[in-house]
């Protein structure tokens, strides 16, 4: 049996010491090729959980093991380098750099990894093609529609073939049709790149595109009970 891409052990987080934990006892194993959806009510801490997984925040209790490495044992720089290589992000608010072109935005992770020029160009073009925006490569992101910008964000999350893709409400700002296209694209790309993915969402429709659905509650992650 291979090492899980991500393992969470008894994870707990509170916003301040005098307030109760927003969640605790969160355990999870995510293996290569798995695509998981996490649902939950507003304020339950879904985005906070995502930040913990990526090492952008630290838990008050428990462990996050990414590729078998305990993030608590790493300093900020080491966590950042691990995140750079192993994690891809897709945000609800897109978060692309407005002053860069589409292809520059997509190539950012490759730039950070020091990918040589020709290789960077090839992989960027491939990824733009894969998400269907290769014709927009030279355009600035401020000139694109919401659906197109989110495709840029997905391409950027996957271009460096991370082991784990984290998507936080990636269709929250999109219409139904665009949302369906983006969700299908995200799943296909995660599977195609042989990584693992976690989709944080409110939407049951969106969650249904994942292999399994978990619900985040104050006392941990639980499988969604089928109606």
Partner 1 sequence: MIADPGSARIWLILLVAQIREQPARFFATVAALALGVALGSSVYLVNTAALNEFGLATKRLVGEADIVIRGPREGFSETVFVDLARNPAVIASSPLLELEVAMAGRTDTLKVLGLDPFRAAVLQPAIIGEIGEGVFQLFSSDAIYLSSSAAQRLTLQRGDLLQVTVGSSSKALRVLGILSESTYPQPLAVMDIASAQWTFDLVGRLNRIDVRLSPGTDVEAFRRDLGTRLPAGVLAVAPQIERDRAITVTKAYRVNLNMLALVALFTGAFLVFSTQSLSVLRRRKSLALLRALGVTQGQLRRALLGEGLILGVIGSMLGVSLGALAAAGILKYLTADLGNGQLRTAGATLSAAPVQMLAFFFIGIIVAGIGAWAPARNAARQAPARALKGGDGNYETAARTSWRLGVVLMLFGAAMAWLPPVGGLPLFGYAAIAALLLGAVLLVPVITLRGLGLAPRTHRVVFDTAVSQLRENVALSALSLASIIVSFSLMVAMAIMIYSFRVSFDHWLVKLLPADMQLREPFGNDTAFWSAEQQTQLRTAPGVSRAEFRRTRQVLLDPARAPVTLIARGANDAQIAADLPLISAAAAPAAASASAWISEALQDLYGYKVGERMAIPLAGRMQQFEIAGVWRDYARLSGSIVISRPAYSAATGDNTANEGSIWLDPGTSVSTAEKSLRLRVGNGDALEITGSTTLRERALQSFDRAFVITYALEVIAVLIGLTGVSFAASSTALARRAEFGMLRHIGMLRGQIMGMLAQEGLLSSAFGVAYGLALGMALSLVLVYVVNRQSFNWSIDLAVPAWQLAALSAVLIAAAACTAIWSGRSALSQDAVRAVREDW
Tokens describing residue 11: 């994870």
- Coil, strand or helix: which one is 169? coil
Q: At its nearest, how many Å lie between partner 1 and the CB of residue 17?
A: 18
Residues near 73 by beta carbon (within 8 Å), at least 6 away in sequence: none
Q: For partner 1, which residue of 12, 44, 74, 108 counts as binding (CB under 8 A)?
A: 108
Q: For partner 1, which residue of 9, 14, 61, 104 counts as binding (CB under 8 A)?
A: 104
Q: How far is CA 141 from the centre of its chain?
A: 20
Q: At its nearest, how many Å lie between partner 1 and the CB of residue 106?
A: 12
Examine residue 151 and tell whether it contacts partner 1 (CB under 8 A): no
Examine residue 159 and tell whether it contacts partner 1 (CB under 8 A): no
- Coil, strand or helix: which one is 28? strand
Q: At its nearest, how many Å lie between partner 1 and the CB of residue 113?
A: 6
User: What spatial distance separates the first Cα and last Cα of the chain, rounded to whole Å?
Assistant: 33
Give the residues across from 221 on adjacent strands.
Answer: 216
Handedness of CA 191, 161, 177, 172 (dihedral sign): positive
Examine residue 118 and tell whether it contacts partner 1 (CB under 8 A): no
Examine residue 42 and tell whether it contacts partner 1 (CB under 8 A): no
Examine residue 51 and tell whether it contacts partner 1 (CB under 8 A): yes
Q: Do 189 and 131 touch, CB atoms closer than 8 A?
A: yes
Which range touches partner 1 (CB under 8 A), out of 6-14, 102-110, 127-135, 196-204? 102-110
Which range touches partner 1 (CB under 8 A), out of 18-26, 113-121, 193-201, 210-218? 113-121
What angle do the packed helices 146-158 and 117-130 form, to 10 degrees? 130
Q: Do 106 and 144 touch, CB atoms closer than 8 A?
A: no
Q: For partner 1, which residue of 3, 68, 84, 219 counts as binding (CB under 8 A)?
A: 84
- Compare residues 114 and 118 and give the one whose CB is closer to partner 1: 114
Examine residue 73 and tell whether it contacts partner 1 (CB under 8 A): no
Q: How far is CA 125 from the centre of its chain?
A: 21
Q: How far apart are CA 154 and CA 10, in angstroms?
A: 30
- Compare residues 109 and 195 and give the one whose CB is closer to partner 1: 109
Task: List residues binding partner 1 (CB under 8 A).
Answer: 47, 51, 54, 56-57, 76-77, 80-81, 83-85, 87, 89, 91, 93-95, 97-100, 104, 108-115, 156
């Amino acid at each position: 049996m291979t090492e899980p891409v991500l393992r969470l052990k008894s994870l707990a987080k509170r916003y301040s010491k005098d307030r109760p934990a927003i969640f605790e006892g969160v355990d999870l194993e995510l293996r290569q090729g798995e695509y998981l959806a996490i649902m939950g009510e507003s304020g339950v801490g879904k985005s906070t959980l995502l930040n913990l997984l990526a090492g952008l925040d630290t838990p008050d209790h428990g462990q996050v093991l990414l590729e078998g490495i305990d993030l608590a044992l790493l300093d900020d720089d080491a966590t950042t380098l691990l995140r750079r290589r192993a994690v891809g992000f897709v945000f609800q608010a897109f978060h692309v750099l407005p002053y860069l072109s589409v292809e520059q935005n997509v190539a950012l992770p490759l730039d950070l990894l020091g990918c040589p020029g020709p290789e960077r160009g090839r992989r960027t073009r491939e990824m733009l093609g894969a998400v269907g925006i290769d014709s927009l490569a030279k355009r600035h992101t401020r000139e694109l529609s919401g659906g197109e910008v989110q495709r840029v964000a997905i391409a950027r999350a996957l271009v460096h073939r991370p082991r784990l893709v984290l998507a936080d409400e990636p269709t929250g700002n999109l219409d139904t049709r665009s949302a369906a296209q983006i969700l299908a694209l995200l799943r296909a790309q995660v599977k195609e790149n042989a990584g693992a993915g976690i989709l944080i969402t409110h939407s049951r429709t969106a969650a249904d595109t994942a292999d399994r659905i978990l619900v985040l509650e104050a006392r941990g992650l639980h499988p969604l009970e089928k109606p």
